[in-house]
Amino acid sequence: MDKSVISYILLFVILVLVQALLLNHIVLFNSAVCLAFIYFLIKLPLGMSPNLLLTLGFILGLSVDILSDTPGLNALCCTILASLKKPVFYAYEQHDDQKRNISPSIGTMGFLNFSKYIFSLSAIYCLLSFFVEFVNYSDAVQILIKAGASTAFTFLVILGIDSLIYKN
Amino acid sequence: MRNLLNFLIKYSTWFVFTFYVLISCILLVKTSDNHYSLYVSSANAIGGAIYRTSSEVTDYFGLLAVNQRLQESNAKLESEVLNLRQQLAQYKVLAQDSTETAESHRFGFIGASVINNSIRHPRNHFTIDRGSIDGVKPGMGVVDQSGIVGIVDATGKNTSRVISVLNQNQHFSAKIKNTPYVGSLTWRGDDPSIAFLEEVPRHAKFHVGDTIVTSGFSTTFPEGIDIGTVMGKVKTSDDTFLILKIRLASNFKTLGTVRVIKDSLKQELDSLNNIGTYE
């Protein structure tokens, strides 16, 4: 098996476990949650076939759902995020043959573009998941506050993880 | 045929996308179905194993606080036992052959540890480390040393998922202690230490600080288990009912050891209730 495939599987397992055992239990200021497991979707190479990308997104979401007792919530949001990954990437990067199969990171995209890219994806994910989960239970302002705080938290943690890996 | 295949291949991404979105939506909507909800819950074999392993490590962190609370509840129970023993001795003199009734052995307990807990969702669940092997069944009530905490909704072999009191879809029958006024306990999200007692009759008398206990109208909880204390009245436009703000007795942020309540009369009472609904 390809070395990169094994490292992606490892990343998947670690992120899901960290999310379920640690991050799900940290709620800052009663509203900010860190949904850092989407880092796996962010890191998947761009050249990957769309069907495989959607499938991996769905499985990732479902795994987190099973461990946090929110059936369907993250599976739905991850599938949608997987479908938006490419358009968001090309909103900040030029179409370039050399970059066709890269894995997005600070090293391959540059700090500014990568920050914009993960901020957009985090914001999409947090807005989507909080609206789907709370739509019957809270008003729009509260959902926006929660989603906004969680976007900032998620963005910072993902940026931190990526810059740690980049330095090594 | 060939055109059809070409069409399917050309738009396969759309089909895959729609398929996954549909499955997710079905899972999202059909959360109340007990039978299959076990497989997509933390009480299944894999989730249970993961949380059991992690709680073996993390359980040690909260031992001091747990110990203290157990000691407090132990002291309380001991004094209660002494009181009851005294009363029993008095009654034994009065009625020598009526002390052994079915009621006195009706409820039993199964001790369990909480291995996964959440308080940030609008519908919260937690997972305990006892399952069908230990005699846990869906519908059983769960209490900790301070008061009620939830109802079992799915049981795996070694683990069970419990609907927390902090779940906006779950209501509990409750009443003001030492009065006949019954209401429906509901959590409204946001604060894990506050719930509301709805549908209390307008004429009910209460004081701030009064204790709220289970009503005993269902087979899930025996009568008189603590739930919380009254903080005050909530203003409503409804003239027929009161809504009371309740401070919950249990601390849901640090659930540790809990007990599952086994009601030996549950089957009988439930089948009696079912006869009523067939009319």
Write b or e for each residue in A20-37: b if 16 or more Cβ atoms lie within 10 A of its Cβ, otherwise e. Answer: bbebbbebeeebbbbbbb
Of residues B229, B238, B169, B240, the one with CA closest to residue B202: B240
B32 in A contact zone (CB under 8 Å): no
> For B169-198, what is the mean pLDDT?
87
State the average pLDDT for chain B: 80
B22 in A contact zone (CB under 8 Å): no
* Interface test mutation site (partner B, options A69, A73, A80, A135, max chain B beta carbons within 10 A): A69
> Is residue B96 assigned to a domain?
no
Q: Could you tell me which residue, B65 or B95, shows the higher pLDDT?
A: B65
Q: Are B135 and B190 part of one and the same domain?
A: yes
pLDDT band at B278 (very low <50, low <70, confident <90, very high): very low
Task: State the sign of the Cα–Cα–Cα–Cα dihedral B78, B252, B209, B215.
Answer: negative
Question: Of how many residues is chain A composed?
Answer: 168
> For B28-56, what is the mean pLDDT?
70
- A chain contacts of residue B12, beta-carbon cutoff 8 Å: 51
**CA dist B182 → A72, B11, B102, B204, B244 (Å):** 36, 58, 26, 9, 11
Q: Counting beta carbons within 10 angstroms of the beta carbon of residue A137, is it exposed (0 to 12), middle (13 to 18) or buried (19 or more)?
A: middle
Q: Please name the amino acid found at residue B139.
A: G
Beta-carbon separation of B117 and A134 below 8 A: no
> Is residue B147 assigned to a domain?
yes
Nearest beta carbon to residue A66 from set B21, B41, B122: B41
Nearest beta carbon to residue B27 from set A55, A72, A83: A72
- A chain contacts of residue B27, beta-carbon cutoff 8 Å: 65, 71-72, 75
Beta-carbon separation of B21 and A76 below 8 A: yes
Q: Are B11 and B47 part of one and the same domain?
A: no
- pLDDT tens across A63-117, in order? 888 888 888 889 999 999 998 988 888 888 777 777 777 788 887 788 888 888 8
In whole angstroms, give the CA distance from residue A160 to residue A134.
Answer: 28
Flag whether pLDDT at A34 surpasses 50.
Answer: yes
Percentage of chain A modeled with pLDDT above 90:
15
- Which ranges of chain A would DSSP assign to H, the alpha helix? 3-21, 39-43, 50-68, 73-92, 106-109, 111-134, 140-167
Of residues A54, A63, A76, the one with CA closest to residue A19: A63
Q: Are B210 and B199 part of one and the same domain?
A: yes
Of residues B255, B270, B238, B248, the one with CA closest to residue B144: B255
Query: Are A16 and A35 within 8 A, CB to CB?
Result: no
> Is residue B95 assigned to a domain?
no
In whole angstroms, give the CA distance from residue B241 to residue B202.
Answer: 5
Q: What is the pLDDT of residue A155?
A: 92
- pLDDT tens across B112-143, in order? 888 888 888 888 889 888 888 888 888 889 98
Q: What is the pLDDT of residue A151?
A: 92
> Is residue B272 assigned to a domain?
no
Q: Could you tell me which residue, A156 or B274, shows the higher pLDDT?
A: A156
Beta-carbon separation of A79 and B17 below 8 A: yes
Range of the domain at B41: 31-67+106-263
Q: What is the pLDDT of residue B276?
A: 54
Q: What is the pLDDT of residue B38?
A: 63
- A chain contacts of residue B13, beta-carbon cutoff 8 Å: 50-51, 54
Residue B130: CATH number of its domain: 2.40.10.340
Flag whether pLDDT at B103 surpasses 60.
Answer: no
> For B137-159, what is the mean pLDDT?
87
Beta-carbon separation of B26 and A61 below 8 A: no
**Selected residues 152-171 of chain B with any CB under 8 Å from a CB in chain A:** 161, 168
> Is residue B191 assigned to a domain?
yes
Q: Where are the domains of chain A?
A: 3-167
Of residues B250, B245, B241, B217, the one with CA closest to residue B233: B245
pLDDT band at B97 (very low <50, low <70, confident <90, very high): low
pLDDT band at A123 (very low <50, low <70, confident <90, very high): very high
Instruction: Provide the 8-state DSSP code for A32.
Output: B
Beta-carbon separation of A72 and B161 below 8 A: no
Query: Are B25 and A59 within 8 A, CB to CB?
Result: no
Number of domains present in the structure of chain B: 2
Q: What is the pLDDT of residue A122?
A: 92
> For A147-159, what is the mean pLDDT?
91
Q: What is the pLDDT of residue B238?
A: 72
> Is residue B126 assigned to a domain?
yes
Query: Are A41 and A162 within 8 A, CB to CB?
Result: no
- B chain contacts of residue A62, beta-carbon cutoff 8 Å: 40
Q: What is the pLDDT of residue B35?
A: 52
Nearest beta carbon to residue B40 from set A20, A25, A66: A66
Flag whether pLDDT at B100 surpasses 60.
Answer: no
CB atoms within 10 A of CB B74: 11
State the average pLDDT for chain A: 85
